[in-house]
């Protein structure tokens, strides 16, 4: 998940700064009578996902053995909780990066730490002069481009794919995007969403770029391929409850290729598993359905496929959708989706207790497809690269290899998980016919 940096925060309620890791000496919140979710149970899921990533080249991205093992793990846990589990096939295009290099002003940069290749980048080699081209969001930004120039654009305002399309139409042989929020730990992974861009597209940290970069000689090389494949959503539903209405919650199961994705989004996955166990197979009213989405990091592909598979009657059955994407950030600011359904937000707020901030979620995660289909949505979020307490990033390991089990604040996650489970029970009771 990546929320806009310039205008995302509508109101920030900075709670007392949370300790990173396992919550330090912070006392564990008192468990509610129902649901009784514990920190130890959540930790078991985080550690299991970490082990899966460790055994799969350090990640759990869609189309890899790490993702497939994550599907198996989640499906088994939901069946153990007494829920009905289905695995929905999702066609998608897998992106494989074989090699890449970036040299700027004679300095060869390190992939991961100083630059990244965007998923679905084209392959090729280009050498020339870096030429500043603004944000790259309009054709006019590339009007001054000369033969041999490699446009250098800012990350902000529009999607990576728009920038790449504009550069390609202008005749550029490669595109370099500079990333101002990159940390000393590395450059976050990103995606062009779908194949079709023929030129190499890389993101470089401004720290590695040095001065503006404008006018520096550069060489970009990318060797990658995109090929058709198939992955899976995991959908679980209570066998009990009133089948005429559905209360739904979900979060993406995949990581980026650049790391294990334990806060993004093993935290949401762990929350959903524990919510299933807390709610149980017989909810108090409407049935409850949970979804673990495939290929969110490649462009919301799993949730898009699912929503598109529903007919009008099935969409109308879904009374509410709650999204869980990054809910254990180590420097957290717990928030609701400001642009979500207000009534649903009030249920989440009451379940959480302390005042939550608000963030404009836009189209940043899987909720976007439900909202577009007319289904009431809201969600919980604790932050990615935005500034948090002390002016530090809420999650300095966002989309990086350091997003490990040690990157999750267990105390924050525990509060989010308990709030989620309580909210689902309340919503189930509310929507019973």
| H-type alpha helices, 353-409 | 367-372
Mean pLDDT value across residues 161-187: 88
pLDDT at 304 over 70: yes
Provide the pLDDT for residue 134: 95
What is d(CA 412, CA 416) in angstroms, rounded to the nearest whole number?
6
Least confident of 23-27, 300-304, 306-310: 23-27
Provide the pLDDT for residue 10: 34
Q: Where in the chain is the domain with CATH 3.40.630.10?
A: 9-83+238-430
Concerning whether 297 is annotated as a catalytic residue, the answer is no
Provide the pLDDT for residue 378: 98
Q: Which of helix, strand or coil describes residue 138?
A: coil
Which residues, in sequence order, are CB contacts of 239 under 8 Å at separation 6+? Answer: 82, 83, 84, 281, 282
Provide the pLDDT for residue 181: 61
- Tens of pLDDT along 341-397? 999 999 999 999 999 999 999 999 999 999 999 999 999 999 999 999 999 999 999
Residue 138 gets the label, from left (phi > 0), alpha (psi -120 to 50) or beta, of beta
Provide the pLDDT for residue 325: 98
- Tens of pLDDT along 48-60? 999 999 999 999 9
The more confidently predicted of residues 113 and 221 is 221
What is d(CA 22, CA 12) in angstroms, rounded to the nearest whole number?
24
Provide the pLDDT for residue 13: 33
pLDDT-above-70 percentage for the chain:
90
Which residues, in sequence order, are CB contacts of 371 under 8 Å at separation 6+? Answer: 340, 377
What is d(CA 378, CA 336) in angstroms, rounded to the nearest whole number?
7
For the chain, the average pLDDT equals 91
Burial code (b: 16+ CB inside 10 Å, e: under 16) for 258-289 equals: bbbbbbbbbbbbbbbbbbbbbbbbebbbbbbb
Q: Does domain 9-83+238-430 bear CATH number 3.40.630.10?
A: yes
Provide the pLDDT for residue 15: 33
Mean pLDDT value across residues 74-90: 98
Provide the pLDDT for residue 24: 41
- Tens of pLDDT along 9-21? 333 333 333 333 3
Paired with 115 in beta bridges are 111, 204
Q: Which of helix, strand or coil describes residue 214?
A: coil
pLDDT confidence tier of residue 183, bands split at 50, 70 and 90: low
352 near 404, Cβ under 8 Å?
no
Q: Where in the chain is the domain with CATH 3.50.30.30?
A: 97-224
Of 237, 274, 277, 296, which is the active-site residue? 296
pLDDT at 101 over 60: yes
Mean pLDDT value across residues 42-69: 97
pLDDT at 309 over 90: yes
pLDDT at 25 over 70: no
Task: Please provide the CATH number assigned to the domain covering 97-224.
Answer: 3.50.30.30
Mean pLDDT value across residues 77-95: 96
321 near 367, Cβ under 8 Å?
yes
The more confidently predicted of residues 3 and 424 is 424
The more confidently predicted of residues 233 and 188 is 233
User: In this structure, are strands 9-11 and 107-108 parallel, antiparallel, or unpaired?
Assistant: unpaired
């Amino acid at each position: 998940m990546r929320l806009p940096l310039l205008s995302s925060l509508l109101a920030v309620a900075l709670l007392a700064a949370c300790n990173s890791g396992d919550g330090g000496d912070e006392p564990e919140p008192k468990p509610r009578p129902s649901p009784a979710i514990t920190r130890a149970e959540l930790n078991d899921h985080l550690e299991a996902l970490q082990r899966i990533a460790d055994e799969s080249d350090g990640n759990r991205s869609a189309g890899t053995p790490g993702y497939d093992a994550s599907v198996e793990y989640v499906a088994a846990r939901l069946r153990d909780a007494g829920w009905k589990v289905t695995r929905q096939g999702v066609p998608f295009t897998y992106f494989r990066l074989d090699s890449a290099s970036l040299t700027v002003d004679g300095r060869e940069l390190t992939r991961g730490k100083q630059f990244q290749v965007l998923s679905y980048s084209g392959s090729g080699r280009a050498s020339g002069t870096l030429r500043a081209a603004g944000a790259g969001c309009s054709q006019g930004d590339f009007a001054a481009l000369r033969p041999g120039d490699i446009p250098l654009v800012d990350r902000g305002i529009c999607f990576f794919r728009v920038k790449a399309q504009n550069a390609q139409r202008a005749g550029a042989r490669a595109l370099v995007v500079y990333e101002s929020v990159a940390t000393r730990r590395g450059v976050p992974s990103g995606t062009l969403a779908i194949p079709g861009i023929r030129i190499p597209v890389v993101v470089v940290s401004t720290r590695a770029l040095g001065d503006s970069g404008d006018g520096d000689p550069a060489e970009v090389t990318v060797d990658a391929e995109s090929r058709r494949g198939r992955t899976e959503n995991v959908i679980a539903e209570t066998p009990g409850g009133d089948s005429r209405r559905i209360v739904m919650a979900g979060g993406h199961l995949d990581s980026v290729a650049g790391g294990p994705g334990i806060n993004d989004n093993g935290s949401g996955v762990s929350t959903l598993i524990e919510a299933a166990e807390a709610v149980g197979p017989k909810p108090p009213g409407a049935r409850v359905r949970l979804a673990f989405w495939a290929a969110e990091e490649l462009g919301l592909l799993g949730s898009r496929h699912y929503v598109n598979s529903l007919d009008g009657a099935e969409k109308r059955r879904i009374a509410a959708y709650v999204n869980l994407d990054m809910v254990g950030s180590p420097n957290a600011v717990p928030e609701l989706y400001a642009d979500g359904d207000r009534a649903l937000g009030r249920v989440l707020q009451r379940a959480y207790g302390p005042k939550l901030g608000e963030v404009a979620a836009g189209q940043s995660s899987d909720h976007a497809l439900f909202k577009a289909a007319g289904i009431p949505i809201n969600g919980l979020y604790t932050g990615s690269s935005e500034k948090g307490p002390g002016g530090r990033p809420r999650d300095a390991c966002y989309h990086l290899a350091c997003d490990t089990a040690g990157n999750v604040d267990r105390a924050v996650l525990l509060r989010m998980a308990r709030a989620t489970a309580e909210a689902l029970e309340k919503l189930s009771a509310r929507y019973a016919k």
